[in-house]
Amino acid sequence: MPRTTISPNRTASRLAARAGHSTTGLMESLEQRALLAVDLAYTELAVANNSLPGGEITVNSTLTNSGDEALATPFSVKFYLSADATLDGGDTELGTYDNNVAIPATGTLGFAKQLTIPDGTPLGGRFIIGVADSGAAVAESSEANNNGSGAFFVGNTPPSVDTPLIGPFTGMTRTSTLTIIVLSATDDDGITGSLDLTFWYDVDADGVLSEVTDRLVGAGEAGPNNSYVYSGPVPTFVEPGLGRIFVKAFDGLDSTIRSGTFTLNASNEPVVQGITATPDSAVSWGEDITFTATGVSDPDDSGTVQAVRLYRDTNGVAGLQADADELIGLMARDGMSDRWSVSTVVDSDWGTSARFFAQATDSMDRVSVVAVSPPRDIGTAQFTFTARDPVTIENLAGPTGAARRGRAITLTATGVSDNAELVRFYRDADGNGTLDTGLDQLLAEVDPNAGSASTEFTIDPAWGAGAQKFFAQGSDDIGLAGETESLDVSLVANRAPRVRSVTANATTRSKGQTLILTANNVTDDDGQTGLAGVQFFRDSNRNGVFDASTDILLGNGARVDGTNNWRLSLVVPTNFRNGLNKIFAKAIDIVNVRSATRAIDVTATRNTKPVLGGFTVTPAAANIGDRLTFLATGVSDNGAIGSVRFYHDSNGNGRLDVNADTLIGVGTRRPGGSYRRVFTLPGGFATGNQTFFAAAFDNLNARSAARSDSVTITV
């Protein structure tokens, strides 16, 4: 930059004017002289990287002191984001670099500054403008050279990738190893720090990569010098002839696509030329349709076609994927023609449009190649279908107000459309407010009648109190589910049942006698269907208060037909305390709510032994093989006779030993309190004078005194 000079005439005039003198006469005494000065110039500004909005860039700057005097004054450098290289009022300030380093005359200063690109900055080319000595702290000989600028890009720039080389370059067959080489692929700006290469086969031969229509071959593996390689078998979906493979380089934000061509030699695989359908117009869900594969053959006659399979494209990926697409069925050959057919029913899962594949397999286990779309649509076809109108339900009605658990309620679906074959009723078991047929509880399936369907059911106590949502959903003759209607019903907590009183057939019973307990007028405001039963307990701890954890359950009562009474009949057991025993009755509903306790006192007395008045055995003399008649008479008990048993004094000690003597048998009760049994003397029975016993046992197994009689037995 030019040095600053001061004119001697101008300087002299200023001095004289300040002193109030004329400048005449001073002109000749002054000389021209060059004064020392600083000149700060922005000699270089470069942006090191591109950035997305919100990201950082690095700005490298070089400043030069072009003057002949050292710069020692601290100064600042401001940076602006601009759409062009000229600073104006519309530019955005990004940051400041504060410098405290002296710059000698003709010296330079280099520094780097990190700046953040504001969020929302439009993508595209931008400039960073640096303004040296932005605060005008330095007196310079020129301010015109204090700005510098550098261009960069806001956004990501796509990676660069070479055209793929595809081999083998000659003689490629299905048994060849497919090799794809990209000599160089780079991500120049490095914003994402990643680069992935994938290779795709141009299925529809349109020269444009579509990740919906075209098929993925595989991913490239990084090699030396930014190269990428794929190696693998020739995919089965690649068709013979001229083909194209795309390479897609993706840096996480943007992609670059290149392609290369190759030739796959034809082989002797079977062929399917096309698919037709009958009827050929739009077919509705649930109707019959016949698919026919045409032009099925083995071109070189090295094998014969053994099977043709029809598939439906279920995953939307171009080309047949036998392990993923739906197998509709095996097609049958039409006589000796080249046509193979299969009939099926249009499934609603097919939607209104579906693509089908036919693939032939020959006797050499070779399969035909299946392509996906025009112009190479051999072996595939796209068909359209007509959707059915869904079954509709206008309203679902139920009980008004709250409902109680254990009671029956009725749900009614009205306005059911004529195409409904069945209406299903559900409970929202998972509580998410949405019908989930695999999770929610199916309550009933009902055939609709005249646009209506109803079901009655008992509210399960396990559903708990609170809001319950119910659903009704219709389906048509092919099982296609229609729209859903719902109803919210509030289930309230149950009220406790009531027992008016408890009575007994007698207030004093001896052990072994029958005690009949009756809970009278048992009611439940939630309905008799809400009653689970009536339980009877004995106050085993004798505290006069019902204790569910300690008092002994005697049994569950049974409802007396035609009444609200519940009755329990039991034999007074030996564990009843002699004397007063308090009996409790409690009603329980289906949600285990218990009534208030009702009680009665029953006195238990000791059990008495039964009585057996007489015993005879006839005849008094008998031979082996003869019949003996045992008769016990005068048998009685304060409770109930359990049995009368007859014994043989097999140990000959003249007294009854029930654990040692032989039991002949149990007598049969006869009128008048007698018991009889007929016994045939078996071979080997003891001979001579033999003694027999009779003993009565009551229902508590107490035994009477034994009675005996003798018989003389001969061979």
DSSP 188-239: SS-SS---EEEEEE-TT-SSS--TTTSEEEEEPEE-GGG-EEEEEEPPTTPP
Widest distance between CA atoms in the chain: 191
How many Å from the N-terminal Cα to the C-terminal Cα in the chain? 159
Among the listed residues 229, 226, 228, 230, the one whose alpha carbon sits nearest the alpha carbon of residue 187: 226
Cα distances (angstroms) measured from residue 404 to each of 259, 440, 531, 533, 653: 73, 21, 13, 18, 72
Beta-carbon contacts of 532 under 8 Å, excluding residues fewer than 6 positions away, are 588, 589, 590, 592
Which stretches of the chain score pLDDT less than 50? 1-34, 371-378
Calpha distance 483→424 (Å, rounded)? 11
Question: How many CA atoms within 13 Å lie on the side-chain side of 190?
Answer: 4
pLDDT of residue 51: 87
pLDDT of residue 255: 87
pLDDT tens-place string over residues 509-568: 998 899 999 999 999 876 656 678 999 999 999 999 999 999 999 999 999 998 999 999
Collapsing DSSP to helix, strand or coil, 542 comes out as coil
Q: Are 6 and 31 in contact (CB under 8 A)?
A: no
Beta-carbon contacts of 512 under 8 Å, excluding residues fewer than 6 positions away, are 571, 572, 607, 637, 638, 639, 640, 698, 699, 700, 702
pLDDT tens-place string over residues 189-231: 666 668 999 999 999 999 999 988 899 999 999 999 999 999 9
Q: What residues form DSSP beta bridges with 441?
A: 427
pLDDT of residue 36: 65
The 10 Å Cβ neighbour count of residue 267 is: 13
Collapsing DSSP to helix, strand or coil, 605 comes out as strand
Calpha distance 352→346 (Å, rounded)? 10
Question: Which of the 8 DSSP states describes residue 671?
Answer: T
